[in-house]
Amino acid sequence: MSGPARSNLEGALWMIASGIVFSAQNAVVKELGTRLDSFEIAFFRCLFGFIAVLPFVLRGGTGLFMTGRPMLHVMRALVGVSGMFCGMYAVTHLPLADATAIGFAKPLFAVLLAATFLGEHVGWRRWSATAAGFVGVVIIVRPGSEIFDFAHVAALAGAFLVADVIVLVKKLQGSERNATIMAYFGIVTSIASFVPAMIVWQTPTAGEFALMVTIGCTASGAQWMALKAYRAAEASAVVPFDYTRLVFAIVYGWIFFAEIPDRWTMLGSAILVAATLYIAYRELAHGKQPRSEGA
């Protein structure tokens, strides 16, 4: 196997591993959500996620926290933790496949936000793909039908907020180190999620506490694996494998929660995945790095 082919294979395997871990994290969130509130789960996810990356953050010393854009860091963290609340509520109250598929709408919102706030030029092809992607979302959520409820709204809100985070991170990356962004995100989200968690607090059992530690660690681990994938291989080779998360979500949902996606979810997901893949390839054609979950 040639060098590039070996690198692309390595990147694909890292991205598949990220999908397995990320989907497993969502399955654990769904299981915990049968007793604990999403706010409490999100607090522990923020806290333990920050603890997991703390050794790497501290390598930068106290100078790591020097920034000329503190309010932008705070805004990014607050928007991010709000998106986390929405995403966890959706995972808890929707089938895993539905929540995962709707989450893939974030590149669609990112196109809208990038054109509006970053002044990026968006050609008719990406606008068409974005419109098609939203058709797929509508098919999945079916507004006005008996299956549509607040959890679908939360899932869409979560995708929109994550897209906002992407725009804010792009602004920060012009002047800030990644470690600085991670440090402020971990601190602010842990503090911000603490208050709502206390309002709905239920003391977790030892088993539940262990699962929440797992969520924090696996979240950081899945993001690290995705970054490894992009470093190891060409972006065009690894982007399609990010969508294996939908396959793993279906498998976990079937095994652990007896969930079987209906034909409308499968149809809408296929349209949504095709649209977002096309958007990713158009971004690659214009020399941009695809927007990843870890953004």
Cβ neighbours of residue 72 closer than 8 Å, sequence gap 6 or more: 168, 171, 172
Does the pLDDT value for residue 75 go beyond 90?
yes
How distant is the alpha carbon of residue 83 from its chain centre? 9
- The domain limits of the chain are 3-285
pLDDT digits (tens, 9 = 90+) for 164-203: 988 888 788 677 777 788 888 888 999 999 999 999 999 9
* pTM of the predicted model as reported, rounded to 2 decimal places: 0.86
pLDDT digits (tens, 9 = 90+) for 116-146: 876 777 788 888 999 999 999 999 998 877 7
pLDDT score at 294: 45
pLDDT band at 228 (very low <50, low <70, confident <90, very high): confident
Q: Which two tokens stand for residue 54?
A: 């703390």
Are the CB atoms for 90 and 239 separated by under 8 Å? Answer: no
Dihedral angle of Cα 274, 19, 228, 9, to the nearest 10 degrees: -70
Report how far residue 66's alpha carbon sits from residue 29's, in angstroms, rounded to the nearest whole number.
34
